[in-house]
Structure formats: structure tokens, C-alpha cells
Amino acid sequence: MIAPFASIPAATGERVAPLPAGPLRPGPLPAGALTVVLGTAASGKTRLLSRIARDLADADVATRVIMVERHAAAVPSLRVFEALLLAHKQGDRWAVGTREIQAVRACLRLVGLAQAADGLVEQLDAEARQRLLIAHALIRQPDALLMDEPERKLAPRHQADIALLLRRIAAEHGLRAVVALADAATALQVADRLLLMRDGRLVATGSPAQLRALARAGDIDAAWLPS
């Protein structure tokens, strides 16, 4: 049985030995911080996110884990406020009161979409759609928020904006936030902690400064991280 995160020693920036068989061990996820899973395409980022989600859900302390959806299920002709309200009421009674309206408005403010509340979902640009997907997850009041790689149409600077949004939300609300990224420069800019994936293996963990130190020491391939 895989040990829950709480029983795995904290990452120290040391190189992790390759694991040809057996589970990945990413270490504990700090609350109030952004952890970035960094790796190229097909490096195992999605697999590691799934592992993290399962271990958090199975931990001794109850943790509400929400994965940000890859695509919005909302009807494009809905207004942004309506789409988020619909997501909020899914699986619940359809009566809408002041509390629900305030929750939706607060969530839209949190992700920077307050000014777009009356606009149509289909008119949102790629970055705004990502923000709405994050709002869909936040309205469910998670303890841990996980997000696979943001839409590839987004330029690295917009992916950085999305990741920094997750980092701010995590810091302000004490959440555990995890996002997968392929761009190393972006990851080093936004991460509090990094999980470096290569060929399906977790090869290193630590802060951006710790991973840069490992690269300088030759413990990990310097080509994996920009100088």
C-alpha cells in the first residue's frame, strides 16, 4: 500500500533515484503554495497528477481534491455568471438565493472575471476560459486544487499568468495548488516547489533555487532547466 503524503519525508532538493518500478513519491504538498509538475510531453505529468489526487483523497486527514476541468461543459450561449452559477448548483437544489449569488460573484472576482460576468462564455479568449475553468473548481470549495497543463494555445506569458493566479489563490486561502507545465522558464518563475519529470520518472524535487543548484552540481541534466 502506498504511504499517504503525510508519512513521506519532506523534499530537500536532493536528487531522487530513478524508479524503474513502483510508485512515484513526490513528497508532501505544502498548503498555501504552488507546486509545479514540470516535464515535456509524455513525461508522465498527468500520471503524477493522478497519483497526487489519489494519495490526497486517501490521506488520514479528509481532503477535498478538485481537478480543474480541461474543457468547460457550459453552454456557450450562457453568460459567464450563469455558467458559474449552473456549476455551483449542480447536484443541489435549484433554488437560488443571496448566498449562492454572493458566492459566484466572489469567485469571479477571485479569478479576475468580475468585469466579464455579463459577457457570453463563447466570447471569452483562451486565458479567460482558463480562469473560468478555475472558477468552476473553486466554487466547489476544494482543499487541494490540481490543474493539468493549461491550454496549449496560450503563450508562455499567459500560462504564467494562470499559474500565478493559482499561486495567489493558494496563498490567500491556504489551499494546496498543483499545476503541470512544460515550459521550464515559466515553471521556475511561478513555482514555490517543483517536481521534475522525465520519461515517466520523478527525477528531482525542491524549490526553483534547489533545482538550479542540482543542475549546477551536475546532479541533474542542466539542459532541463534554463540558466
Mean pLDDT over residues 119-146, rounded?
A: 94
Is the same domain home to 77 and 110?
A: yes
Whose grid coordinates read 515550459? 183
Tell whether 134 and 147 lie within a shared domain: no
Domain check: are 214 and 152 in the same one? yes
Radius of gyration of the chain (CA): 18
Among 139, 155, 174, where does a domain finish? 139
Reported as a single tens digit per residue, the pLDDT across 163-220 is 999 999 999 999 999 999 999 999 999 999 999 999 989 999 999 999 999 988 888 8
Question: For residue 38, what are the β-bridge partners?
Answer: 181, 196
- DSSP element (H, E) containing 201: strand 201-206
Q: How many independent structural domains does the chain possess?
A: 2
Task: Look at residue 154 and tell me if it is in a domain.
Answer: yes
For the stretch 2-48, pLDDT in tens is: 222 222 233 344 444 333 334 446 778 899 999 999 999 889 999 99
Query: Is residue 125 domain-resident?
Result: yes
- Tell me what pLDDT residue 60 has: 64
Q: Which of 139, 158, 192 is the last residue of a domain?
A: 139
- The burial of 148, by beta-carbon neighbours within 10 Å (0-12 exposed, 13-18 middle, 19 or more buried), is given as middle
Judgement on whether residues 155 and 116 belong to the same structural domain of the protein: no
- Nearest alpha carbon to residue 15 among 162, 227, 176, 224: 224
Residue type, 136: H
Under 8 Å between Cβ of 111 and 135 = yes
Q: How far apart are the first and last CA of the chain?
A: 39
Model pLDDT for residues 37-91, shown as the tens digit of each residue: 999 988 999 999 999 998 888 876 778 999 998 876 656 689 999 999 998 887 5
Cell of 150: 493549461
Q: Is the pLDDT of residue 114 over 90?
A: yes
Sign of CA dihedral 31, 34, 39, 40: positive
What is the predicted pLDDT for the residue at 189? 94
Coil/strand/helix, residue 177: strand
Specify which residues 205 forms β-bridges with.
195
SS3 helix, strand, coil % of the chain, rounded to 5? 45, 15, 40
pLDDT reported for residue 141: 92
Which of 48-62, 87-101, 133-147 tops mean pLDDT? Answer: 133-147
Structural domain containing residue 37: 25-64+142-226
| 13: region left, alpha or beta (phi > 0 left; psi from -120 to 50 alpha) | left
Domain boundary among 88, 105, 139: 139
Sign of CA dihedral 173, 125, 103, 85: negative
Quick check: is 14 in a domain? Answer: no
pTM, 2 dp: 0.84
